[in-house]
Structure 1
Amino acid sequence: MPLGLVALALGGFGIGLTEFVIMGLLPEIAADFEVSEAVAGYLISGYALAVAVGAILVTAAVIRFDRKRVLLGLLVLFIIGNLMSALAPSYETMMAGRIVAALCHGAFFGIGSVVAAGMVSPNRRAGAIAMMFAGLTIANVLGVPFGTLLGQQFGWRSTFWAITAIGVVALIGIATLVRSSAADSVHGTLRAELWAFRNKQVWLSIAVTILGFGGMFGAFTYIAFTLTEVSGFATSSVPWLLVLFGSGMFIGNHLGAKAADRALAPALISILVAVTAVLVVFAATADNKTMTMISLFLMGAFGFATVPGLQMRIMNYASAAPTMASGANIAAFNLGNALGAWLGGIAIAAGLGFTSPIWVGAAVTVSGLIVLVIASAMDRPDTKTPPVAVLAGR
């Protein structure tokens, strides 16, 4: 395994920690800045919006530059953003720091996917992408509970100081361990990168990502309410149940990559079928604690097993110019998150109960599965995309 993948994973760990750890620190942050918890929650939604925007605009802005240098620049942006959060004298400065850090998120994972794939042989590319995303899953399994504990014991700012330090270590790691030959490629123009979007399969891949991943996230968004109000768990149990979910994510990310490397389309179809089945079973048995724990683990496993394959699919269809397409797919993941959360919220507001987001998530996932089956049936060489395999210099 190339050591550069470890450095990319460390960067992914820091970015994942930045995104998720704040959920456990909102009460302390709200009290410190004297704002309501709802207003403090904008620090989460503002971050997500900035990720989606940054995945497209930042990637477009750096398309001409050396990928290794771009990754280093993005980590500098990440460090600055978290340093702003750690030092923030006001809520507004905190929000600005969150946005600055978020702008690097989508571009880092988008460009990092291309760089990771370029480090290994073609039949191991999904596994390399999964290695980078493993940092994100580990952030959920270990980083969020310990980051929350650190913030509760020593003040929430200590967590952001720790994340800043992780960013510095990741910066040094990528600078020393990622070889330029792995990060370099035939650097095209923005026009050449946008040409890839004339391939209908690129757009279908984005649609599958939004729907296939969005369904799972819609169910997850309101999971705390489901666990406490339906399953009957104590509020204090929720963080450890989320560790169970994160453990599923970690395992699913690894196994999903192996399946995608063997047979991409069949793997994605099978995984989305499994996600749908798990969500249906979860919704139907959410009042049973044992079944809830099993479903929570499997939801994380199958939900995140889609990620390497979905990222690989769009990069395959945009192989002559994968950078913008890869970044667009990272934005699609976040759009899926927003769509799933919005639809789940509508179901709750309609009085359908706290299992309704899970049912809605199952329906959204089925729609993604339908799009994927249609896209696979339509799969033919597209003459609009130059048939040149220059994925990360290969």
Structure 2
Amino acid sequence: MTTDNRSIEAPRAASAADLSAARRSLCVLLLVVMGFILGSSEFIVIGIEQQIADAFSVPLAHVGGLVSAFALSYAILTPILALTTGRFRRFTLLVGYSVVFCAGNLLAALAPTFELLYAARLVLGAVSGGLLAVGVTYLPELMDPKRTPFAISLVYGAFSVAMVLSTSIGKMIAELSSWHVAMWAVLAVAVVVCLALVAVLPRAGETDEPATVRDQIGLLAEPQVLTGMAIFVFGVGGVYVFYAFITPYLEQVLGLSPFQASAVLMVYGVMCIISNMLSGVLDSRAGMRGLVPVFVIQTGLLLALYALGSTMPLALAVVLAIGVSMYVLSVPCITMFMRVARQRHPKAMMLASSVEPTAFNIGISFGTAVGSAVVAGPGMASAGLVGASFSVVALVLTLVTMRIDRRRGWERPRATRLERRRAPSACARAGLACVIV
């Protein structure tokens, strides 16, 4: 007698094919907003670190642990959930993850002690990756195959843009009221988005087919996937040595006022939108090859940040340029992960969609932990030098990944001239949607 809960489902559960074009478009829009609110719940603390430190009388370096706790929980549990929940229907997982996500945000908003806030961050990290991975698997059924990669990059892009917009907006709210109010704002949007997703997304789909751990685990043994994850660890980690403490950096090193720092963070958000657009263009034109000059430039920018110190306005210009380089690695690596899964492990698509956020958050946790050590040791001004060394490692890993791809005969073919002309316009639409969100 089987215990697979897929055998107990409504006989006429709606699939994406049953939805009107307008409803499919609404589903995609809500998935983009979901990416944004998931990012907001993770990054909201970056803009209010000082207020949290003051409220609970803890060192600023300890507050940085709230970022690391979320990222580490996210990184560890996202692939574990993808592997162990393969026998559950996707819609059931969506509902369950949504409930836990909203509960975690409620705990963060109410937290009367630093320990409870830390616990809330662990809960949010544990469920956010699973919710994002489930959401992304809907896109191939909702979109035309040619537009699906850009739709996926748009959801991840919204998650990334939230990193900066929620940081600056949260800081403004905290300055005008309190950090609790910023958390309540995230909770309110999370509840609305999750209810809307449950209401409009299809109940059934192609990925409802059972997938065992054995069906999926082989993806994590593929050499490109392993080196690709390492690219995120060092590429993202190199920036996060600096970015995890960007608000105190702007105020204490560059001497900006709180509201000037908030304005800079808003501009930084625009730079990140540009970074996501460039990521899609780069992937369509060069694939992984395009990341080589990106990491060379990123290394130079982080070295310049260290060399310039508090020199204004040059140091501020370098800070904004780092924002442009920050997410360019995302789409080429996501495309590679999904390609390897499609060709070698077709039942591991949900796991493949979780690899990028998992690796990204390992990079965040790694970079933030190192950044905390830098702040507590040589000082915040040294963050650029340490970050630059990590970017060099990411450059070497990119070259290794490209070599493995060639040896295994999976190198991405060059885009046609027509595809190269179309890619920028598609990425521009993705960037515009992120701004709207």
Partner of 1:162: 185
Partner of 1:387: none
The Cα of 1:192 is off from its aligned counterpart by 0.8
Partner of 1:227: 250
- Residues 3 and 178 in structure 1, CA contact (< 8 A), matched pair in contact too: no
The Cα of 1:262 is off from its aligned counterpart by 3.8
Map 1:92-103 → 2, pairs under 5 A:
92-103=115-126
- In the alignment, the residues of structure 2 paired with residue 208 and residue 182 of structure 1 have an alpha-carbon distance, to the nearest angstrom, of 33
Number of matched residues? 383
- Does 1:369 find its partner at 2:392? no
1:334 to 346, 361, 364: 361
- In the alignment, the residues of structure 2 paired with residue 69 and residue 269 of structure 1 have an alpha-carbon distance, to the nearest angstrom, of 41
Provide the TM-score with structure 1 as the length reference. 0.84
Root-mean-square deviation (CA), in Å?
A: 3.1
Q: Secondary structure, in 3 states, of the residue corresponding to 1:73?
A: helix
- Residues 260 and 308 in structure 1, CA contact (< 8 A), matched pair in contact too: yes
- In the alignment, the residues of structure 2 paired with residue 224 and residue 89 of structure 1 have an alpha-carbon distance, to the nearest angstrom, of 24
Q: Secondary structure, in 3 states, of the residue corresponding to 1:289?
A: coil
- In the alignment, the residues of structure 2 paired with residue 28 and residue 376 of structure 1 have an alpha-carbon distance, to the nearest angstrom, of 44
Q: Secondary structure, in 3 states, of the residue corresponding to 2:87?
A: coil
Partner of 1:243: 266
Partner of 1:390: none
**1:311-347 per-position Cα deviation (integer Å, ceiling 9, x unaligned):** 2222222222132243233222122123223444555
Partner of 2:336: 313
**1:226-270 per-position Cα deviation (integer Å, ceiling 9, x unaligned):** 434544434553222222222211221123123213432233334
Greater displacement, 69-78 / 34-43: 34-43
- In the alignment, the residues of structure 1 paired with residue 147 and residue 362 of structure 2 have an alpha-carbon distance, to the nearest angstrom, of 28
1:101–1:225 CA distance, 2 compared to 1 (3 A): closer
- Does 1:298 find its partner at 2:321? yes
Q: Secondary structure, in 3 states, of the residue corresponding to 2:189?
A: helix
Partner of 1:112: 135
- In the alignment, the residues of structure 1 paired with residue 80 and residue 381 of structure 2 have an alpha-carbon distance, to the nearest angstrom, of 37
1:365–1:27 CA distance, 2 compared to 1 (3 A): closer
Partner of 2:14: none
1:28–1:138 CA distance, 2 compared to 1 (3 A): same
- Does 1:192 find its partner at 2:218? no
1:203 to 226, 239, 245: 226
The Cα of 1:286 is off from its aligned counterpart by 4.1
Greater displacement, 111-120 / 29-38: 29-38
Provide the TM-score with structure 2 as the length reference. 0.77
Paired amino acid for 2:246: I
2:67 to 14, 21, 44: 44
Which structure 2 segments of 5+ residues have no match?
1-23, 410-437
- In the alignment, the residues of structure 2 paired with residue 183 and residue 382 of structure 1 have an alpha-carbon distance, to the nearest angstrom, of 29
Paired amino acid for 1:7: L
- Residues 84 and 94 in structure 1, CA contact (< 8 A), matched pair in contact too: yes
Q: Secondary structure, in 3 states, of the residue corresponding to 2:405?
A: coil
Partner of 2:425: none
The Cα of 1:376 is off from its aligned counterpart by 0.9
The Cα of 1:30 is off from its aligned counterpart by 4.9
Task: Report percent identity of matched pairs.
Answer: 26
- In the alignment, the residues of structure 2 paired with residue 343 and residue 70 of structure 1 have an alpha-carbon distance, to the nearest angstrom, of 34
- Residues 6 and 131 in structure 1, CA contact (< 8 A), matched pair in contact too: no
- Does 1:379 find its partner at 2:405? yes
- In the alignment, the residues of structure 1 paired with residue 371 and residue 113 of structure 2 have an alpha-carbon distance, to the nearest angstrom, of 32
1:291–1:111 CA distance, 2 compared to 1 (3 A): farther
- Residues 67 and 368 in structure 2, CA contact (< 8 A), matched pair in contact too: no
Paired amino acid for 2:396: I
Partner of 1:130: 153
- In the alignment, the residues of structure 1 paired with residue 375 and residue 189 of structure 2 have an alpha-carbon distance, to the nearest angstrom, of 38
1:292–1:130 CA distance, 2 compared to 1 (3 A): farther
1:8 to 20, 31, 44: 31
- In the alignment, the residues of structure 2 paired with residue 235 and residue 218 of structure 1 have an alpha-carbon distance, to the nearest angstrom, of 21
Map 1:139-158 → 2, pairs under 5 A:
139-158=162-181
Paired amino acid for 1:324: L
Partner of 1:18: 41
- Residues 126 and 258 in structure 1, CA contact (< 8 A), matched pair in contact too: no
- In the alignment, the residues of structure 2 paired with residue 41 and residue 277 of structure 1 have an alpha-carbon distance, to the nearest angstrom, of 26
The Cα of 1:78 is off from its aligned counterpart by 0.9
1:220–1:29 CA distance, 2 compared to 1 (3 A): closer
1:165–1:350 CA distance, 2 compared to 1 (3 A): closer
1:273–1:66 CA distance, 2 compared to 1 (3 A): farther
1:296–1:29 CA distance, 2 compared to 1 (3 A): closer
Which structure 1 segments of 5+ residues have no match?
384-394
- Does 1:272 find its partner at 2:295? yes
- Residues 151 and 158 in structure 1, CA contact (< 8 A), matched pair in contact too: yes
- In the alignment, the residues of structure 1 paired with residue 372 and residue 183 of structure 2 have an alpha-carbon distance, to the nearest angstrom, of 30
- In the alignment, the residues of structure 2 paired with residue 300 and residue 60 of structure 1 have an alpha-carbon distance, to the nearest angstrom, of 33
- Residues 302 and 387 in structure 2, CA contact (< 8 A), matched pair in contact too: yes
- Residues 61 and 372 in structure 2, CA contact (< 8 A), matched pair in contact too: no
- Residues 238 and 390 in structure 2, CA contact (< 8 A), matched pair in contact too: yes
Q: Secondary structure, in 3 states, of the residue corresponding to 1:184?
A: helix
Q: Secondary structure, in 3 states, of the residue corresponding to 2:185?
A: helix
Partner of 1:386: none
Greater displacement, 102-111 / 114-123: 114-123
Greater displacement, 34-43 / 17-26: 34-43
